[in-house]
Amino acid sequence: MSAGTSQDDAAAAVLYVCADRGILMPDLAAERAEEEGHAFAEQHRLTITEVITDGYGEPDPARRTGWQWVRKLAEAGTVAAVLVRWPAAIAPEAAHEFRHRETNWLQEHGVRVRYTWAPLAEAGGEVR
């Protein structure tokens, strides 16, 4: 968080959705991610200022248009948290180094990454 950030700004969050499209119900995973994200934000008194989506498939988040926007918001200091359903939405386990690179970059810019999926959210929902 930058020195000029107010308490109100500290509650600003972006909801990032990057979900695989199923064959039978192609929108279900994205819909659940959004529902969980909004519920998590309400429970933790965060204000979602934007919902950003990317198509699933590109393992490097830095190559996704939506994630590039997440980084710009973080760099501008307009968001204090990024809400994401689970770690694989940032980068799949096979490319975990990309996830660590991105979450570290966000943390260096004062932005917390919070996981909204119930089992992760119950454990605090935050990247450590």
Per the structure, the count of domains in the chain is: 1
Banded model confidence at residue 102, pLDDT cuts 50, 70, 90: very high
Domain presence at residue 5? no
Please state whether the predicted TM-score (pTM) of the whole model is above 0.95.
no
Domain that holds residue 104: 11-122
Tokens of 60: 């490097």
Query: Could you tell me if residue 37 is inside a domain?
Result: yes
CATH number at residue 102: 3.40.50.1390
2: in domain: no
Number of neighbouring beta carbons within 10 Å of residue 68: 13
85 within a domain of the structure (yes/no) = yes
Query: Is residue 1 in a domain?
Result: no
Q: Give the residue, 53 or 19, on which the prediction is more confident.
A: 53
Residue 127 domain-assigned? no
